[in-house]
């Protein structure tokens, strides 16, 4: 039985592909709004550009019950980062929300980011009650989008999700880099890295999105989304290698040597991220009935 029509932006992306699968399995009819017609087997409409009028967004929401807005530009090297992030990650979201307020009877779910809450390294446990302190253009654009959505959706039929780093088959970014490191046929001098990082299982994130479409307790809410327990880089690498039938093969090396090596190879910022703490609590979302994954290292070990 079809439980509603959901327009999903970014449906062909890393998270969108899994979300569409779960939505359809739950009985939803999915419409993909995209700038690119490839990569999705769902019904497709053209996603207007940020500089198009709100009316263009209203047209794609005809006969749509819910909206899930995933589409965004993630961390990358941009020539005009401030303008581009603001246009794609804020203005586009704001116009979509304004159109949704006029047209949809259901809910609007916005996939923001933990970077709207804090930087890539954070002291203590990140909570939604903390004052948001984004540290880059990406995070500031996401936070601005959150504010625009709250202003536009006067009925309060919206949910904002702030996921931490997401993992799953086909992941890119830092997790893909760790996959490549783990694949090297040599021991790795990274056992002494002690920074704890909260991660998020992609399937669990998609369940959080669907939960938000169905649960009134998430209305008007902003929620951090993460697995229950943080992990360290050595735990991640060991899990990946065990998945491949190998021993962890990790040994300790003085951190100052690793720091120098990272600076020489131009990986200073990545080093700070991997060796620093970012622990985030999803207790608020769990209190509404969503279930978090307990052991991310165990799930990483099961990925194929």
Q: What is the domain-level CATH number for residue 49?
A: 3.40.50.720
71 in a structural domain: yes
32 in a structural domain: yes
Per DSSP (E only), the strands in the chain are 4-9, 28-34, 43-46, 66-69, 108-111, 125-126, 158-163, 165-167, 196-197, 199-201, 221-225, 231-232, 279-280
Residue pair 246/209 in contact (Cβ under 8 Å)? The answer is no
- The confidence score (pLDDT) of residue 1 equals 47
What is the number of structural domains in the chain? Answer: 1
* Three-point CA angle 14, 44, 98, nearest 5°: 85
251 in a structural domain: no
**Quick check: 124 pLDDT over 60?**
yes
- The confidence score (pLDDT) of residue 264 equals 83
150 in a structural domain: yes
**Quick check: 294 pLDDT over 70?**
yes
231 in a structural domain: no
- The confidence score (pLDDT) of residue 207 equals 98
- The confidence score (pLDDT) of residue 74 equals 81
244 in a structural domain: no
Which residue(s) pair with 153 in the sheet? none
Lowest mean pLDDT among 22-36, 175-189, 238-252, 288-302: 288-302
**Quick check: 136 pLDDT over 50?**
yes
Range of the domain at 99: 4-167+199-226+281-293
118 in a structural domain: yes
- The confidence score (pLDDT) of residue 177 equals 85
242 in a structural domain: no
Mean pLDDT of 66-73: 96
Q: Does the predicted model carry a pTM greater than 0.85?
A: yes
**Quick check: 155 pLDDT over 50?**
yes
């Amino acid at each position: 039985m079809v439980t509603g029509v959901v327009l999903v932006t970014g449906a062909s992306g890393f998270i969108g592909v899994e979300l569409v699968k779960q939505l359809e399995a739950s009985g939803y009819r999915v419409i993909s709004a995209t700038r690119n017609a490839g990569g999705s087997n769902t019904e497709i409409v053209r996603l207007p550009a940020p500089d198009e009028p709100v009316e263009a967004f209203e047209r794609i929401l005809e006969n749509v019950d819910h909206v899930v807005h995933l589409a965004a530009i993630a961390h990358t090297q941009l020539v005009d980062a401030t303008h581009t992030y603001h246009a794609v990650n804020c203005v586009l979201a704001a116009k979509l929300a304004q159109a949704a307020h006029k047209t949809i009877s259901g809910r609007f779910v916005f996939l923001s980011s933990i970077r709207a809450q804090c930087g890539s390294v954070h002291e203590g446990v990140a909570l939604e009650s903390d004052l948001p302190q984004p540290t880059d253009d990406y995070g500031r654009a996401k936070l601005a989008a959150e504010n625009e959505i709250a202003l536009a959706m006067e009925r309060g039929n919206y949910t904002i999700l702030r996921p931490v780093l997401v993992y799953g088959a086909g992941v890119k970014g830092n997790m893909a880099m760790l996959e490549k490191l783990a694949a090297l046929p040599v021991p790795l001098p990274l056992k002494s890295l002690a920074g704890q990082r909260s991660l998020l299982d992609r399937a669990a994130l998609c369940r959080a999105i669907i939960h938000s479409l169905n649960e009134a307790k998430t209305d008007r809410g902003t929620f951090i989304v993460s697995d229950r327990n943080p992990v360290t880089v050595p735990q991640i690498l060991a899990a990946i290698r065990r998945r491949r039938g190998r021993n962890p093969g990790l040994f300790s090396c003085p951190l100052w040597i690793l720091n120098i090596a990272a600076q020489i190879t131009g990986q200073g910022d990545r080093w700070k991220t991997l060796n620093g703490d970012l622990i985030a609590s999803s207790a608020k979302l769990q209190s509404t009935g969503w279930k978090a994954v307990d052991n991310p290292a165990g799930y990483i070990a099961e990925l194929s």
